[in-house]
Amino acid sequence: ETPWFSVQSLQHDSGNGQPYYAISCPESVGVVATTESGELLLISQYRPPVGGRLIELPAGYMDEGETPEQAIARELAEETGYGCRRFHYLGSFLLMPSRLDTRVHFFFGEGAHLLKAGCKEDKDIEVLLMKPEELLRRRDGLVDLTVMAGLQVCRSSGFLRE
């Protein structure tokens, strides 16, 4: 057990007699946020399991008693120093359900704007502004797959154009 996850041995008759291990995490939130000029608000941070910096959506765990809407506004401000004029709820999705029970609540954020200089809490996170088409062309292994999935959900919901 850690502050971020726990490992559980689940009963599952897979026929091999081995326990099935799953990772349990709190619910989380993520946002595809765009500025008034149509740029995506992304983050880059070092991820020890892959030994490098990845491009990601602003995201994080929900605090106890927090609604998804409260959590996404807090996470966006903490990680980027930005807020959004409006958040649109796009639904909840399971993240790698073969091993994780994590449910991610996705949002589209419009009108992303800097709240005030220096209010970003995590100094390891670099804020990136990028055009959607530039991001969609990347195939360098440095983009978290949830970014691409989030963009597709936004497109299919009518928030981003081809």
**109-121 pLDDT per residue, tens:** 999 999 976 556 6
Q: What residue ranges of the chain have pLDDT lower than 50?
A: none
CB distance 4 to 25 below 8 Å: yes
E strand intervals along the chain: 6-10, 20-24, 28-34, 40-47, 52-56, 59-61, 82-83, 86-94, 103-110, 113-114, 126-130
pLDDT value of position 162: 64
Structure confidence at residue 42 (pLDDT): 96
CA-nearest of 138, 129, 136 to 154 is 136
Rounded Cα distance, 45 and 159, in Å: 26
Q: Return the pLDDT at 76.
A: 95
Mean pLDDT of the chain: 89
Phi, psi of 133 (to 5 degrees): -65, -35
pLDDT at position 120: 60
pTM: 0.87
